[in-house]
Amino acid sequence: MGQRHQIFVKSYTTERNLKTFTAAFHHQWLFGGTAIQQLRNMLEYNSNMGKYGQLNGKYTQLSSHENMLTPDDIVKIVDNCFAMNTPLGYHSTMISLNKEAAEYGDNYLRPDYQDNNDGQTFVDFTGDKIKYCFTFPFDKKEDKEDETPAAKCWEPLSARDYIKHYYEIQEFADKNSDDLNETDTNDKIFLDKIKANIEWIEENAELMTQEEFFILYPELKS
């Protein structure tokens, strides 16, 4: 079944009747460190474009209300950002929920409508500051016998808190490189990269609060 994950990205758009647009995707193999990397890809794209960054003659910064992006442009940008730095074949499992909604109905754009076991990524480029969070659309329990969930359903999680459900990024931090075997060395390189990505995200985006999340999706507030 894979690692089912969804992505929801709200951006400004030139579409006159919309003003903002949310690109939504289902990804069959996105979780843990890969989800962190892809979030950084998208934030870094937005930062690199700058207010007047151009692509094919269009202003394309997702966070600029002066951008010239159509909804189709936004979908393509998010799709391309999530294709970068992924293992071969992973990106082929990414499906546009906007396309699915156009064919089968708007329920496909609801975060609570999707098959999920590895969380969801939310980014809002339309405020004074870029906001993001990871959530689980269920109470996340590390053990089935746990009475208290490690993360509550729809609780906004930072990149640092989300990754704790998959890896202990400090596991090799205090070890001398000479003391690591080949497997441990590879793990340290992988975890060090995740740590660097988390630190970059923390410097360039702000964690969405619970209230802000429910403003975006009031239907999820119970």
pLDDT, tens digit only, all 222 positions of the chain = 557 889 999 998 887 677 899 999 988 777 788 889 989 999 998 888 865 566 666 677 888 877 788 899 899 889 888 877 665 555 567 888 999 999 998 988 898 888 777 889 999 999 889 999 999 988 877 665 666 667 888 999 999 999 888 876 555 445 555 555 555 556 677 778 888 999 999 999 999 999 999 999 999 987
**What pLDDT, on the 0 to 100 scale, is given for residue 122?**
96
Q: 157 by DSSP, 3-state: which?
A: strand
Question: By CB neighbour count within 10 A (0-12 exposed, 13-18 middle, 19+ buried), where does 174 fall?
Answer: exposed
99 token code pair = 């396309």
Q: Which amino acid is at 64?
A: S
* Dist. CA 3–CA 29, nearest whole Å: 5
Residue 37 inside a domain? The answer is yes
Location of structure tokens 């966070």: 63
Residue 222 inside a domain? The answer is no
pTM of the model: 0.85
Residue 34 inside a domain? The answer is yes
Question: Domain containing 114: what range?
Answer: 5-217
Helix (H) or strand (E) holding 38, with range, is helix 32-49
Helix (H) or strand (E) holding 35, with range, is helix 32-49
* Dist. CA 37–CA 197, nearest whole Å: 6
**What pLDDT, on the 0 to 100 scale, is given for residue 172?**
45
**What pLDDT, on the 0 to 100 scale, is given for residue 194?**
86
Residue 98 inside a domain? The answer is yes
**What pLDDT, on the 0 to 100 scale, is given for residue 108?**
86
Residue 177 inside a domain? The answer is yes
- Specify the number of domains making up the chain: 1
